[in-house]
Amino acid sequence: MKIGTFFGFEAAHVLPHHPGKCSRPHGHSYRLEVVVEGGLQEDGPATGMVMDFADLKALVRRTVVEQLDHNDLNTLIANPTAEEIAQWIWARLEPELPSLRRLVLWETATAYAMLER
């Protein structure tokens, strides 16, 4: 069984190797999808769930969204392309969330980077 949820954050960046307008400072309203997989828990407060959505949301917010929201991504990632940002997010979530299976980072309404395991 897989479950997922969405997050939003605002951030600015510059793509230092880009030959076009992305080489100038600009920002995006990012949308992040996080999907985890697992069996249904058999006892406790999350009985019948893969994971409590509240726990998933709290973990992702604490681990990545609070770091990225309203930040200059170049202070965290040398070349913050959508692909590099997605890899940065995955590297931070996976140790805390071994059931992570998919991550989709939407940079615009029509452009995204996706990682799956």
Annotated active-site residue 10? The verdict is: no
Q: What is the pLDDT of residues 6-59, one digit of tens each?
A: 999 999 999 999 999 999 999 999 999 999 999 999 998 889 999 999 999 999
Give the active site residue among 18, 26, 70, 116.
70
Annotated active-site residue 116? The verdict is: no
Q: What is the pTM of this model?
A: 0.96
Three-state secondary structure call for residue 5: strand
Domains in the chain with CATH codes? 2-116 (3.30.479.10)
Give the active site residue among 22, 83, 84, 94.
22
Mean pLDDT for 67-76 is 98
Annotated active-site residue 70? The verdict is: yes
